[in-house]
Chain A
């Protein structure tokens, strides 16, 4: 087996095969290529080996072996991350969670479920749908992204507007620490002693340890949902309406914006029809679900969507379409769900950026995004969680032309700088990974970053557990970064 550990390489592969079984060790060019990046494909780095443990104990043994032999490691779920969080370290392993796919316990009375980290987000919900429950966070990647990945990135999705991101839905975790211990925090009862540390772990992008199992909160599936797709003659009218909807005291469960760029791509790709003169659409959804408004009735939901429709019309909406039934609701959501995929019609490559701003600043922010794209001579289309102020400008380009690549990177950075200027964050959902290391200093002072570095040492005092991610200027990262930046193996 060819490996990257040098003369002792063969020993390492055998050492790990004794832990995970021979079939749990992948190496060679095909494996290296498959695992050399996640969905952030700008940077690549071939792993030394890929391991597929079958249990928490095997993960723990792997980490112990890594400690013994000074081998860095990076956990990987489905590899759908968009910031390079699963990019292997220099000479490092990938610890894949592909075999940790069991649902361990479903406790309906306590509305909690315990699952291994490799279970997909959607599978968690499917397991309890017949009981009228689901796992509320619904990132767009939910059919493939894993619980572990969702925890690592504090995943969002369209319904976080009402139901929150992943963090409020994690009751407990089992984590293999960088010191090769199996740490259990929290449990099915919310607020157990030690559960305050879970807040540090969710969103830590795999840099504080490897979460192998979690207790998650199950939420009642709303019994009444109203969805509307509203067409506007200008992006500004749509963005101004977003703020007004929320300011009006209504809490929709989703509020998404799709602009003309995406609509054009959808028409080309799927023949999706929409009213003449539409420059932007709002997809709004209201429901009678759990947290928030107690005891909302179906009538109140209908009234909410009616109030929203009327508000949109007052703001110049061309057309309002309210779904009559479940089938029509699915049809309305197609525009949102197929949007990014349809971008393939516009150019060979798309980079989906991620930033967040206070929603009242959306109108000026979108103006800025279009201006930046024009200035840099790249195409842009916008499809995003307007209700949260979480932007996803999609710059499209041809990555065979290095000048275009450079302009896209610059345009993306300009957008993020603007987000911070407007009081937002450098990342709403996708995380820092490697992609935004250099941008952390825009949002945080040196003292803030010192505090971050301290926080890391609560769990991670070494340099082996997913090194050189999230925090800039960590020592020994120079070699990693030289290897990553555009150097393909």
Chain B
């Protein structure tokens, strides 16, 4: 009988050992686990350099998965991606330190990139990459490059709000007429980026006043943008501060009768901030050349067209045709070429913003 247990124990150990090896060398026993990569490997290899590339992506697979597949198809490089939340992936990279398996960090927002910059873990990007984009899409020391942009907008319920009654700037929302009608997400990274922009542009005092003004209008608090857009569509709130592209997801899954639309604030205030999703190459990258190829590809006309047409984000490279859904190409040009839209989040700036929000009891 003793041997039955030993067999069980040994079997379990073997199972564990087998599962150990599945990332390093795919063995026959773990074939199904690496199905995805197998498919990848059969893609036509046009490039000589068919090494691999490890990407940590804070952008979800639902957004960037298809374009990464295109990259694999075009170059034959075996790209392995770890998808996760931008903040948690940044924390992971910091904990991994110089042992990090990641070559490239593709982040949803400048905050996540800032944390890695702060830890001095990104390498300077070559001109062949940063030369592709206008200066506003490059971080201060050329440590990361913007790949697509999201615009801060006001989402409004079409039944309860006429767009003409929405003020042109953020300041208007402290008006008591918006009492109990606003939705916001103080814990959200994009929102905190907007408040940081406010502090830079308006100064701390005015920003605090604005936040207090909104607070006195008793807004409903949401954990993220998706829920704000959903609430605006259902009429739970009349207006909400979000990024522009969530609306298009709802229009795709709920049809045109979805009850909310975007309102673009005019002028160059923080209400029309463009937030960059960007990427940088780690100092410890083992596949530096492939990582550079990846960035070049993401900044190519083809990939930029994908961001604009398929996931409704703003391209950072000039001369890309914008999806009709994104409206107002004129407005877009006005925004993106102006120096005011360039926005980088410094970690100390973000810390101050969070301290301010904490003092007002908006975050913990």
Asked if A and B bind, the verdict is no
Q: B residues engaging A (CB < 8 A)?
A: none
Q: A residues engaging B (CB < 8 A)?
A: none
